[in-house]
Amino acid sequence: MKKVFSLLAGIFALGAINASAQIKETPLPELVQENGHFSLIVDGSPYLILGGQCGNSSNWPATLDGVWHTMKEMNANTLEIPVYWEEIERVRGQYDFTSVQRLLDQAREQDLRLILLWFATWKNGSNHYMPEWMKLDSKTFYNVTSKDGRPIDSPSPHVSEAMDLDAKAFAALMRYLKENDPCHTVIMVQVENEPGTWDSVRDYGKTAEKLFNKDVPAALMKPEILKELGADPKAKRGSWSEVFGERADEYFHAWSVASYINNVAEAGQKVNPLPMYVNAALRDPITNPMADQYESGGPTDNVICIYKAAAPAICLCAPDIYQSGDEKYTASIKLYDRKDNALMVPESSNVNLYLYEVLSRGLGFAPFGVDGRVNAQTPISLDYAILAPAASQIAKWRTEGRLFSAFENESHDSEEIDLGSWKALLTFSPGHRGTAPAKGTKGIPSVGKVMMVKLAEDEFYAFGNNVHFTFEPLGKNVGKAWHYLVVEEGHFEEGEFVRDRILNGDQTDWGGPTISSQPQVLHIKLYSRTPIK
Ligand code: DGJ
């Protein structure tokens, strides 16, 4: 019996080798940092995530067709999609990767890359994606207890048996990918989803209390970390309360959740070191609120340094930006664009207004719930259409510091960009935010925005919509007469700019060119003349 089984297993294994032998093996995706700029390398080149995230319950045969359809209509290159622990480990210790293989097969057919979201111990702070057999054993896999003894709908980060099970299942997933995804259809993995706890700043159960009264771990007792956390940078040791005072509870919870996640991610990294990240339910980026006003324990902006210290297996902390208002949205972008953290926005409520703010600083962007609310009529498909054929170049230009962006602000409709020898003066038309639907967009407003690429001192590309350009000499050009050498309107094909027409006469004589509500790419060359004395 044993022999037959191994013979059969051998035949199946051979089949698997043959099947995957047809798939070209590519280098492992990685996050690199060069000259202070982060870059996601896929297939050996910089990669720009023009993404979309589907709904939470969309990774099912009944819904996947709709997801692929939306992604195509969006002109996106990367789908962010959950894989469910409750489905993968329905029986303890037995892993079923049918849903993963289906994704790999269908994504390859669609020529899309995937970012898998590991919905496991935490999903929006709760344990709702733990397998049923864990949920039913709430004594072993217990939840957080609040300060006043209430049971909270959030798993305790101090349950080592849950952590080990999560780590084992995650490692099995990563092994499955290693064996079945040699071409790296999956380019990144999100470990957990918006981890942390709503409704209690930390766990106040017995185990948690013991740990809380111990000394702060040495990894946090470093002057730069203590300073960032608002503690005495010279402190040498002490309990959480002694070192961090009124912030002790939230920092302790962040450390506990991050350490748990690191354990899970590390188990996966050992098998298959794909880039792994965590995502945050944000707190107000301006008012520095206490943790009773946000999801405590997740990678919020105030504890990124704790995540860096506790979770080295995680390559970046990413903001899910659902905040409304220019000030809050852009503040969150800046808080996660750090020397030690690459910016990536894996979820956004606003479909495209801040697209260039994110792409000029980060690895990529994805609006959330695209299969529910995005279709070809929404402006982002028009934006992605002009960006997609230039994606790798844009990713490279960013790492070279060549990208600059601006958008039609709530309070003003003009912006300036300092480009060294020239100042770009941008007026967003029609000047009333949100009143100009792009062509063919069923009345959905498309707000003015622009991303400029500085190719040389006097030469630029501009991606944008609803914007009028003019320029002012700066630096070496100050005091000189200037004009356009040439303005070309065009598009990209496989990374090369292709001219459709030259804009001249009425199209440039009123100060400069205009891009209408239809997103376009311009190639602009300027020149200056020394005044004759
Ligand atoms: C943020 C979560 O990360 C998503 O999975 C989803 O639940 C959205 N919130 C809902 O808007």
Whether the Cβ atoms of residue 37 and residue 54 lie closer than 8 Å to each other: no
Please name every residue paired with 489 in a beta bridge, in sequence order, or none if there are none: 501, 522
How many Cβ atoms from other residues are within 10 Å of residue 11's Cβ?
10
Measured in angstroms, how far is the CA atom of residue 441 from the centroid of ligand 1? 26
Mutate to test the pocket of ligand 1, among 194, 294, 321, 345 (most ligand atoms within 8 A of CB): 194
Closest ligand 1 atom to Cα of 193: 3
Measured in angstroms, how far is the CA atom of residue 334 from the centroid of ligand 1? 21
- Answer yes or no: is the C-beta of 347 below 6 A from any ligand 1 atom: yes
Residue 145, phi then psi, degrees to nearest 5:
-105, 135
Structure confidence at residue 6 (pLDDT): 34
Q: How far is CA 422 from CA 323, 356, 407, 477, in A?
A: 34, 20, 19, 7
- Answer yes or no: is the C-beta of 441 below 6 A from any ligand 1 atom: no
Q: For residue 333, give every residue at least 6 positions away whose Cβ sits within 8 Å of its Cβ, in sequence order, or none.
A: 319, 321, 343, 345, 354, 357, 358, 361, 362
Rounded Cα distance, 114 and 119, in Å: 15
Measured in angstroms, how far is the CA atom of residue 393 from the centroid of ligand 1? 31
Closest ligand 1 atom to Cα of 117: 5
Closest ligand 1 atom to Cα of 194: 3
Rounded Cα distance, 265 and 277, in Å: 9
Q: What's the Rg (C-alpha) of the chain?
A: 25
Question: How do the pLDDT tens digits run along the chain, 533 residues long?
Answer: 333 333 333 333 333 444 454 789 999 999 999 989 999 999 999 999 999 999 999 999 999 999 999 999 999 999 999 999 999 999 999 999 999 999 999 999 999 999 999 999 999 999 999 999 999 999 999 999 999 999 999 999 999 999 999 999 999 999 999 999 999 999 999 999 999 999 999 999 999 999 999 999 999 999 999 999 999 999 999 999 999 999 999 999 999 999 999 999 999 999 999 999 999 999 999 999 999 999 999 999 999 999 999 999 999 999 999 998 999 999 999 999 999 999 999 999 977 899 999 999 999 999 999 987 655 456 799 999 999 999 999 999 999 999 999 999 888 889 999 999 999 999 997 555 655 555 555 555 578 999 999 999 999 999 999 999 999 999 999 999 999 999 999 999 999 999 999 999 999 999 999 999 899 999 999 999 876 66
Please name every residue paired with 528 in a beta bridge, in sequence order, or none if there are none: 482
Measured in angstroms, how far is the CA atom of residue 124 from the centroid of ligand 1? 7
Rounded Cα distance, 144 and 147, in Å: 10
Instruction: Tell me the two tokens of residue 348.
Output: 């956004």
Measured in angstroms, how far is the CA atom of residue 123 from the centroid of ligand 1? 9
Structure confidence at residue 412 (pLDDT): 81
Closest ligand 1 atom to Cα of 279: 3
Structure confidence at residue 379 (pLDDT): 79
**DSSP state, 219?**
G
- Answer yes or no: is the C-beta of 301 below 6 A from any ligand 1 atom: no
Rounded Cα distance, 131 and 22, in Å: 35
**DSSP state, 344?**
-
- Answer yes or no: is the C-beta of 458 below 6 A from any ligand 1 atom: no
One-letter identity of residue 419: L
Q: Are strands 459-465 and 449-456 parallel, antiparallel or unpaired?
A: antiparallel
Rounded Cα distance, 247 and 243, in Å: 9
Residue 9, phi then psi, degrees to nearest 5:
-60, -40
Measured in angstroms, how far is the CA atom of residue 45 from the centroid of ligand 1? 31
- Answer yes or no: is the C-beta of 368 below 6 A from any ligand 1 atom: yes
Measured in angstroms, how far is the CA atom of residue 59 from the centroid of ligand 1? 15
- Answer yes or no: is the C-beta of 193 below 6 A from any ligand 1 atom: yes
- The dihedral over CA atoms of 323, 326, 332, 338, expressed in degrees to the nearest 10, equals 160
- Answer yes or no: is the C-beta of 194 below 6 A from any ligand 1 atom: yes
Mutate to test the pocket of ligand 1, among 81, 83, 193, 294 (most ligand atoms within 8 A of CB): 193
- Answer yes or no: is the C-beta of 295 below 6 A from any ligand 1 atom: no
Structure confidence at residue 351 (pLDDT): 75
- Answer yes or no: is the C-beta of 190 below 6 A from any ligand 1 atom: no
- Answer yes or no: is the C-beta of 192 below 6 A from any ligand 1 atom: no
Measured in angstroms, how far is the CA atom of residue 366 from the centroid of ligand 1? 12
Measured in angstroms, how far is the CA atom of residue 474 from the centroid of ligand 1? 45
Mutate to test the pocket of ligand 1, among 320, 332, 371 (most ligand atoms within 8 A of CB): 320
Whose CA is closest to atom 6 on ligand 1?
56
Whose CA is closest to atom 2 on ligand 1?
124
How many Cβ atoms from other residues are within 10 Å of residue 334's Cβ?
13
Whose CA is closest to atom 9 on ligand 1?
124
- Its pTM surpasses 0.75: yes
Cα-Cα-Cα-Cα dihedral sign, residues 369, 399, 107, 19: negative
Please name every residue paired with 365 in a beta bridge, in sequence order, or none if there are none: 50, 345
- Answer yes or no: is the C-beta of 330 below 6 A from any ligand 1 atom: no
Structure confidence at residue 329 (pLDDT): 96
Mutate to test the pocket of ligand 1, among 347, 348, 350 (most ligand atoms within 8 A of CB): 347
- Answer yes or no: is the C-beta of 307 below 6 A from any ligand 1 atom: no
Q: Is 80 helix (H, G, I), strand (E, B) or coil?
A: strand
Structure confidence at residue 15 (pLDDT): 36
Q: Order of strands, edge to edge, in the sheet holding 78-84?
A: 347-348, 316-321, 276-281, 186-193, 113-123, 78-84, 49-53, 364-365
